[in-house]
Structure 1
Amino acid sequence: MHTLVIGLNHKTAPVEIREQLAFQEDRLQLALKSLRDMKSVLECVIVSTCNRMELYVVADQLHTGEYYAKAFLESWFRLPKEGFAEHLYVKANQEAVRHLFHVVCGMDSLVLGETQILGQVKQAFLTAQQTGTTGTLFNALFKQAVTFGKRVHSETEIGQNAVSVSYAAVELGKKMFDSFSGKTILLIGAGKMSELTAKHFHAIGANRVLVVNRTLSKAEELARKFQGEARTWDELIPALLKADIVVSSTGAKEPVLTRAMVEPVLKKRRSPLFLIDIAVPRDIDPAIHELDQVFLYDIDDLNGIVDANMAIREQEAAKVRLWIEEELRQFNEWLDTLGVVPLITALRDKALAIQEEAVLRIERKLPELTEKEKRVIRKHTKSIVNQLMRDPIVRVKELATSPQKELAQEMFVALFALEKQLNAEQEQEESDSVELPNTAALASGNA
């Protein structure tokens, strides 16, 4: 068996490509079944978010599995592969597993260490489980990956501290206010950055929002998102009197808040004024910083916080990379023990067949046996067989992770004469396999 991941993300494909290969949530189960029904595919999970689309596949043949997974994308989205093939990445076996561990930790995300992807991968796995497209391998792998992702986010700071300008403003605010409950935030300008910053403050309790903008309709539109109030540009000074936090991002060429405007306001206030200038050119006159009871931060201050926090995340990422290698080692050990399952199954089948044949001979020789006596004989002979098999099974599992695993498995097969059982199983698998069809035939619908 081979593990594959075939996908694209924000690093390999622009949004116009990603949006064409995004799975609709209400059709995801149907997509999973369609992918699993492709030749060579044994198990599958589909992860589809705004920044990535990934098919995780267990295939009986490596190249055949990759071929049919790509053919599935072409068929499902009704797109010629030439339109997206160059944006796809393909990772197999060890690299595929390592990639999944990176993804659940946020190590492969647009924002290093973000936590949302962990929940998205978990949901993708649960959906595949419910649909019946996972089996022994993916049930173990995805459970381990999700557990590992939770550990990373609880035991490291890879997802902590602001790495966006808008959230860095909140971190600064936390140093000034013990609580944001009941605080008023004033937005000067109704652009995207103002909205993002307000969203972060609003989420932690700053529930009174005022929006001042030169175009009142835009101010009203943004204010509605936070159950706030819009003000005309002429009402800027009265709004300053009410505000605890001011976020300015207007795109004006000259400062919209000058020292001469703010100084009289401070004389009428009883509390400090927290000013955040995220505009370039700056909206707020730097001279305001000289006034008492004013805390002014501009874009460079915020970027400094972001850079420092990103450095912390990078340090944590180095630690997580080492942890990933340990997780990979543990998974490989489990995978190695999975490789001896056919041997163990063959031994059990042979031993139980011998036990069953012996019981039938006893019953033929002793026809006077009651049903109860037959059950007792069957139970105890099976117990003897299980006890005899226990130690060999334990030892072959232990040796499965040793450097001599191949030799140990060969000796196990020879010692218990399991060639017949294993050959029968292999012949059955080969009879179920198919040859790779002609690419042109598949594209034309004749495969």
Structure 2
Amino acid sequence: QLRKAYECSREAGFTGDYLRVVMNRVVKTAKEVYTNTKIAKNPVSIVSLAYRKLRQLNTCSNCRLLIIGAGETNQHIAEYLKKHKYSNFSIFNRSLPKAEQLAKKLNGNAYTLDQLKDFKEGFDVIITCTGSTNTIITEEIYKQLLNGDTDKKVIVDLAVPNDTAPAVIENNAVHYIEIETLKEIARKNIQERYNELVHAEQIIAENIKDFELVLRQRRIELAMSGVPQKIKEIKHNAVNAIFAEEINALDDNSKLVLERVLNYMEKKCISVPMMIAKDILVNNR
């Protein structure tokens, strides 16, 4: 997100050289933290945790997914699943237009919540998250959804209170993943991230220290950026004005040698001061 925001700002002309240098160091530091610590090892978002649970249960990308509720949480998890190549979605929502809106994004089918009890297409996974205070998936509705299917199913219930009746879990072969379990895992993972903060802060501190030198070097580069053009102007003035008569009196071979000497001197006059300045910076860190 930060990189995307920076690129948008850069393209709009709102950034300068200093911010470019800062951004390069920020990206480098973030990569080092990500690679050299465990801070990103375990997810903390409910959506990511729910997805991980589904993967642990070996759900395939073409499994039949019933999404009950088209609110923000289910939108996030459904789009996350689509991103990971899941493709068979049926969306149920109290408001059909909202179900249709989400179904369009997922290339799925939309239904009203009232149509749930009559759904006969079968399913492998139910993901439910509604704002209802009443049970949505009753044992009666669940049996109708099974339609005689005896395979073990997966229910991901992210609603508070839960949308699934306890009897559904007790009386059927179900992998049940509910919101409080995921929240507990998230809390544990957050604590693990906190434990990694010390290592992350060390990496950040080292990069800040290195960045101070990088920044000083860049300031010298900018301060001396006009040197090459100035040297070219001095050379041009010397050849075409101050020593023009003497040079014109030379034979062609001498002129060629002189030009090569001047070009060599020009390059050295540009590079040597920069090298000396950088050496001074390094030796006086």
TM-score bracket relative to the smaller structure? 0.7 to 0.9
Q: CA deviation at 1:362?
A: 6.8
Q: Residue in 2 aligned with 1:183? A: 63
Q: CA deviation at 1:344?
A: 9.5
| Separation in structure 2 between the aligned mates of residue 188 and residue 349 of structure 1, nearest angstrom | 71
Does 2:127 match 1:247? yes
Q: CA deviation at 1:372?
A: 4.3
Instruction: Check conservation: 2:154, 2:176, Cα contact below 8 A.
Output: yes
Does 2:59 match 1:174? no
What does the per-residue CA deviation read over 1:386-443, in whole Å, with 9 as the maximum and x for residues that have no partner?
A: 668876653432112344x8xxxxxxxxxxxxxxxxxxxxxxxxxxxxxxxxxxxxxx
Secondary structure in structure 2 of the residue aligned to 1:400: helix
Instruction: Check conservation: 1:184, 1:206, Cα contact below 8 A.
Output: no
Q: Percent identity?
A: 22
Q: Residue in 1 aligned with 2:260? A: 379
Long gaps (5+) in structure 2: none
Q: CA deviation at 1:282?
A: 1.8
Q: Residue in 1 aligned with 2:5? A: 120
User: Which structure's relative contact order is higher, taking Cα pairs within 8 Å and 6+ residues apart?
Assistant: 2
Choose the corresponding residue for 1:368, options 225, 236, 249.
249
Instruction: Say how many residue pairs are matched.
Output: 284
Does 2:87 match 1:207? yes
Q: CA deviation at 1:275?
A: 0.9
Q: CA deviation at 1:294?
A: 0.4
Q: CA deviation at 1:233?
A: 4.5
Does 2:46 match 1:165? yes
Q: 1:288 to 1:270 in 2, by over 3 A?
A: closer
| Separation in structure 2 between the aligned mates of residue 199 and residue 275 of structure 1, nearest angstrom | 18
Task: Tell me the C-alpha RMSD between the 2 structures.
Answer: 4.2
Does 2:256 match 1:401? no
Q: CA deviation at 1:370?
A: 2.6
Where do residues 87-98 of structure 1 align in structure 2 (5 Å cutoff)?
none
Instruction: Check conservation: 1:336, 1:401, Cα contact below 8 A.
Output: no
Q: Which amino acid aligns with 2:277?
A: V
| Separation in structure 2 between the aligned mates of residue 349 and residue 261 of structure 1, nearest angstrom | 83
Q: TM-score, normalised by structure 2?
A: 0.74
Instruction: Check conservation: 2:69, 2:91, Cα contact below 8 A.
Output: yes
| Separation in structure 2 between the aligned mates of residue 383 and residue 213 of structure 1, nearest angstrom | 76
Long gaps (5+) in structure 1: 1-115, 406-447
Q: 1:144 to 1:193 in 2, by over 3 A?
A: closer
Q: TM-score, normalised by structure 1?
A: 0.51
Instruction: Check conservation: 2:123, 2:146, Cα contact below 8 A.
Output: no
Q: Which amino acid aligns with 1:256?
A: I
Instruction: Check conservation: 1:211, 1:231, Cα contact below 8 A.
Output: yes
Instruction: Check conservation: 2:238, 2:244, Cα contact below 8 A.
Output: no
Where do residues 227-306 of structure 1 align in structure 2 (5 Å cutoff)?
227-233=107-113, 235-239=115-119, 242-259=122-139, 261-262=141-142, 268-306=148-186
| Separation in structure 2 between the aligned mates of residue 299 and residue 327 of structure 1, nearest angstrom | 39
Secondary structure in structure 2 of the residue aligned to 1:212: strand
